[in-house]
Every structure is written in C-alpha cells, then in structure tokens.
Structure 1
Amino acid sequence: MSTAQNQNVKTSLNEREGFQVWWRLLRPHTLTAAFVPVFVGTMLAALEKSINFWLFAAMLLASILIQAATNMFNEYYDYKRGLDNENSVGIGGTIVRDGIHPKTVLSLAFIFFILAGLLGVYICASSSWWIAAIGLISMLFGYLYTGGPLPIAYTPFGEVTAGFFMGTIIIGISYFIQTLTMTAEVAVVSVPVAIFVGSILLANNIRDRAGDAENGRKTLAILFGHKGSVIFISTLFVIAFLWTVGLILLGTLPVWAFITLFSVIKGWKAIQGFIGKTQPLEMMPAMKATAQTNTIYGLLLGLSLLLHLYFPLV
C-alpha cells in the first residue's frame, strides 16, 4: 500500500499520530471489560464488609494490564500470521499502519504481564496465595487467546473463554480478595457480565467474519453466518437481561438492580447496527455499542449494589 493510500485508511478510521498511536494499541474500548468485573465483584464484597481500597485499586490495575497485554498479543500474532493488514479495522494498527516494530509490541505485552504479576504478589500477600494460581492461569489464557500453536481466538471457544475469565473469574477473585470467602450467589450474579464480555468478542468476530474465514479461522460468527450470528448475539442479550430480572425477583440482586435495564437501549442499538451491514467499517458503530452495553450494564449493576448498601429499598 502506498503512503497516500495508508493515510486515506487512517483518515477514514479517524486515527491520529503521536500519543494516539500507543493509546490505540491498548484498544481502549475493550478495557472496560476489565474494569466492570472488578467493580461488580468489589461491590458484592462491600455488601458483606468494608472493602480494602488498595486491594481494589491493585486488582483493577492488574486486570487492565492483563487485558491490554492480551490486546497486544492479538496485534502481534495476527500480524505474524498475516491476518492484519493496512485495511484492517478494529485493530490498533500500530504495526501495519504506524510502523511500530512488531518486537516492540510483543515486548510491551510481556512488560504489562510482569507489572500485573507484581501487583498480583501484593494482592496474594494481602489475601491468599491461592489467587496466584488462578492469576497465572488467567494470564496463560490471555496469551493463548492469540498466541501458541492453536490460538483460542481462531476457534468457536473464544467468546466462552473471554466471558469466563474476564467475567466470572475476575468477579470471583475481586470478591474473594476482599472477603476471603466465595459463594454460589457471586457466580450466579457474574453470568450476565460474562455474557456481555463474551458478546464484545462475538461482535468483533461478526465484523471480521469474511476476512477471518478467508484466513482459516473457525469462529462462532463464521459457523453461524452473519444473520445467524446477529440472532445469536440478540439471544445472548435477552438471556442476560432476563437473568438479571430473575435474580432480582428471587432476591439475589436488590431491587435497585432494575436500573441495569437502561442498558437495553444501547444493546438494541448494537443489534440494529449489525442488521443489513456487510462491510467491517460500517459495523464499527455496532461493535462500539456492544462494548458500551457491557460498560453501562456493569456500572449500573455495581451502582445498584452500592445504592442498596446505603439506601436499601427492602
């Protein structure tokens, strides 16, 4: 691709130079998937006892670092396998459009993992060393998502893996380090968050379905086709919201949790953004709305727990 063509792509994607190059590498729209579970898990713990702010901050930063590192591994290995090029959307573009050396991106990913590990030492020392084993497994899967001989992202299990580790596991750890206990209710409450986190990956794969199929991937979006994938992600959204309502009616979640239903508006926008679309660039708003659905739902869920703590309705 010529310099002029490359510039045209960057302009269409609204990509800027300087600090923005490194900011895009982090894929900031995905980082809320790291914040939301920590926030929800910590607020669940707050219902049981006062929380340790420094543990919360360490867990939050570690989760963000692991998510950012996973994004960098994705950027590096997709480039090495020839999946990303100058026209690819939804990527940082740091390597293929900004000319940053691939080894630099890989090194940054490992540095972020090391920093997350150091924070993990503090978290373990302040809670339990069993967290170390879970954390190491989570980091391993973060690497294997696009690294290794058979990347998880290239299989139908990417969404499930992301939802489980970035949803249920992080909520569980965030709750455990504050209370040193675990309950079935925490796992049950984590289900909608896990669904929305997995849906971010599904939305990404719907957008990239055609290109991924040409490169031999076997994602759910490829197996279901565009129409089937839109129906599937719509079904996941319905399940997540109905699950939430069910937990409220059963008393597992407080009445305040009804405020999470405001995120239905953004979820509806995400679904509508995929219908009838064929080009990756025109599906970018739907991808963004999917991530925002997770963000809004998670923030409102955490807020509802906080409101229940100080202003119980029942």
Structure 2
Amino acid sequence: MNIQAQSAFPEEKGWRIWWRLTRPHTLTAAFVPVLLGTALSANQQPIHGLLFASMLVASLLIQAATNMFNEYYDYARGLDNQHSVGIGGAIVRHGVKPATVLGLGFAFLGAAVLLGVYISASSSWWIALVGLVSMAAGYFYTGGPYPIAYTPFGEITSGFFMGFVITQISYFIQTGSISLISVLVSMPISILIGAIMLSNNIRDLDGDKKSGRKTVAILVGREKAIKLLAAMFIVSYVFILILIFFFSLSPWLLLTFASIPKAIKAVKGFIGKTEPIQMMPAMKATAQTNTIFGFLMAASFFISYVIS
C-alpha cells in the first residue's frame, strides 16, 4: 500500500473496526429526522421519552444495518478492495468474515423489529407495516438482484424513507396524527439526506461507472451532479423561507442558515476533484450540513414552544 493509502486507512483494532463498519458519518440521516419529528410534536403535547428513545435507536439500527448490507454486497460483487474509499473496510481491510457482517446486519434489523413492536403497540400497528417496508428498502438498497443504489433512484429512495417517513413516524407516535405542517417540515431534511447520497455517488462516480451502475451522478456527469448538489442545498434553505412566510412558522427557523458555510464548503470541495480520497472532506461537509441544519431546525421548534 502506498503512503497516500496508508494515511487514508490507518490501522485500526478492536471496537474501532466495528464502529467504522456502521459508517458513522451516515448515521446523521437516521437521528436527525427522529429529532425533528419529535421536536415538532412538542407543540402538541408532552414528549413521550421512551417512545422517542425507542424510535431513535431503531432508526440508527436500521441505518447501520443498511450500511452493513452495503459492505457485504459490494464485497460479494467484487466492487470493494483494501484501497476503496468510503467503506467500513471490515471485510477487505480487517479480515472480518463476510457472513459475520451480513449476520450482524440482520441482527440489527431484528433488534429494530423488537423496538418496532413496542412502538406499534404504543401507537398504531400501521407503524409496523411502514417500518417493515422501510427495512426492506434498506436491504434492497444494495441487496437483491436489482439494488436500488445501482439505479438513478438512490437519492429519492433514501430521502423518502430516511427523511420523510422517519419524520412522520416520529411525529405520529407522539401525537397520533400526521399534519400538513409535519409533511412540509420533513421536506428540506429529505432533500438534504438525498444530498448525502448524491455526494457519495459523486465521489464514487468513476468506480461506479466501471461496475455498471446508473446513478444520477453517472447519468448527468460530474459537473452537473455538483450543480445538482448545490441546487438541493439552495432549495432546502428556500423551503425554510416558505415555511416562515407562507405557513407562519417561527422565525427561529432562520437558525438553520448557520449551516450555509458547511453547504458551501461541500460544493466547493467537489469542484475540480476527481480522486475519491480528495472528495472525502466534501462528503463529510454534506453530512455535517444535514446534521447542523436538522439540529437547528429542531431547536427552533423547541425554542418557539418554550417562549410561547
């Protein structure tokens, strides 16, 4: 391995191998929607702490399981090697058996199902159906004969299930209903979660192209994909203005604009770059944009609730 690769993939042992397997930089797509849906519900009634915690853990487990399926199936299809960027590396760099990674992914889903039983029993059994469909989407994102991640629908699928669906479930289990506002509030977060997937596909464009994938980034080309990423950021911030001026939501939502520097850093970080390792900071900035934006959006609802 060359010096660049050594610096990119430092030797790791013990729990760090398993932590990297979860791909922690992607977990923001799991906890931000739960926090947002729960924060929005605080204006309706007191938050049920155990339901919130159960939903949060279940969402993190499903996201981590999805990442493990990704790790397993990309290895099984010969797409990952010890020099691959953006993977957990448990199989190709640390010698973990592929069957162990796959089994751990299913174990995480099993734990999420148990939490889902409690959540459904405490709210509605329709949640169980929606949860099972969401878990299936996580598996078939990279599993099965026609992985969603290999198509132009990866960003839409991830944004819909991880952004829209999780936000609505988190809101519903607290309030017992879905509202127009809960639907609208989930839109910018859904877009930003889709942006995380797009940034991943921009980084992996060359390798994905060789493996026969047909992602949006491949279909439109690198430059247009970067412009699309910038447009997704812009639409998310414009949506905040729409919520404030047309739906009379709290001006505290403007706090989300504090994440704009991260969005700018993400876009600039992709421009002129072609090597995956060079684009890792940009992808990290994309995930951080979602995290900061989501936290501040949730905080705005809590603030408006406290001062009202």
TM over 0.5: yes
Which shows bigger deviation, 184-193 or 208-217? Answer: 184-193
Partner of 2:181: 185
Relative distance call for 1:119 and 1:252 in structure 2 (3 A) is farther
CA shift for structure 1 position 9: 2.8
Relative distance call for 1:15 and 1:174 in structure 2 (3 A) is farther
Is 1:145 equivalent to 2:152 in the alignment? no
Which shows bigger deviation, 114-123 or 252-261? Answer: 252-261
Identity rate, percent:
56
Relative distance call for 1:16 and 1:253 in structure 2 (3 A) is farther
Q: Following the alignment from structure 1 to structure 2, what is the Cα–Cα distance between the partners of residues 291 and 53?
A: 26
1:110-189 matches, within 5 Å, as: 110-189=106-185
Q: Following the alignment from structure 1 to structure 2, what is the Cα–Cα distance between the partners of residues 268 and 160?
A: 22
Contact 1:6–1:86 (Cα < 8 Å) also in 2: no
SS in 1 for 2:255: helix
Q: Following the alignment from structure 1 to structure 2, what is the Cα–Cα distance between the partners of residues 256 and 43?
A: 13
- For 2:282, give the aligned amino acid: A
Partner of 2:228: 232
Relative distance call for 1:10 and 1:100 in structure 2 (3 A) is farther
CA shift for structure 1 position 14: 3.6
Q: Following the alignment from structure 1 to structure 2, what is the Cα–Cα distance between the partners of residues 260 and 69?
A: 29
1:75-124: CA deviations, max 9, x gaps?
Answer: 00000011111111000011011110000000000000000000000001
CA shift for structure 1 position 28: 0.5
Partner of 1:98: 94
Contact 1:202–1:233 (Cα < 8 Å) also in 2: yes
1:144-200: CA deviations, max 9, x gaps?
Answer: 000011000000000000000000000000000011111121111111000000100
Q: Following the alignment from structure 2 to structure 1, what is the Cα–Cα distance between the partners of residues 11 and 38?
A: 35
Partner of 2:241: 245
Partner of 1:285: 281
Partner of 1:258: 254
- Which structure 1 residue ranges, 4+ long, deviate > 6 Å from structure 2? none
Partner of 2:37: 41
Partner of 1:23: 19
SS in 2 for 1:186: helix
Q: Following the alignment from structure 1 to structure 2, what is the Cα–Cα distance between the partners of residues 8 and 194?
A: 35
| Superposition TM-score, scaled by structure 1 size | 0.96
RMSD over aligned CA atoms reads 1.2
- For 2:304, give the aligned amino acid: H
For residue 194 of structure 2, the aligned residue among 171, 191, 198 is 198
CA shift for structure 1 position 12: 2.3
Partner of 1:12: 8
User: Alignment length, in residue pairs?
Assistant: 308
Q: Following the alignment from structure 1 to structure 2, what is the Cα–Cα distance between the partners of residues 191 and 37?
A: 10
